Amino acid sequence: MNRILPAFAAFALLAAPAAFAAEQATADRAPPPKAPSAMTPTEIKAYNVGLAETHPYYIKCRKTLEIGSLVKKVRTCYTNEKWKQVIANSSQNARDTTEAFVSGAGSSSN
């Protein structure tokens, strides 16, 4: 036990500058210059170079089928930060809709 603690402390001191430098490099990154959905896949790939997948400005794209079509897909791209907002808004809308149906169902008069 007495040997492990100094070794752990030394490792932590050596690893801290590298982690700090990596964090600084990604913290200095500016948001995308234009809307991610307007960027080409090549531009997105070039922008994401050096960013961790968990970074707020990392761009992720999702493809969804267009309603009414068996083949056509729509590509939607946002930063992680924007995806978080989109998911939160969708969840809140679903909760509001469910609450409206539940509260409205008991007040019908037949």
In SS3 terms, 16-65 reads as HHHHHHHHHHHHCCCCCCCCHHHCCHHHHHHHHCCCCCCCCCCEEEEEEE
Helix (H, G, I), strand (E, B) or coil at 79: strand
pLDDT averaged over 10-residue windows placed end to end, the chain, 110 residues? 52 49 59 92 95 96 92 94 94 91 66
**Residue-level pLDDT at 101:** 87
**Residue-level pLDDT at 105:** 62
- Decide if 34 contacts 77 (C-beta within 8 A): no
Q: Where are the domains of the chain?
A: 31-105
Distance (Å, whole) CA 15 – CA 63:
39
pTM of the model as a whole: 0.63
21 φ/ψ angles, rounded to the nearest 5 degrees = -65, -40
**Residue-level pLDDT at 107:** 56
- Decide if 100 contacts 81 (C-beta within 8 A): no
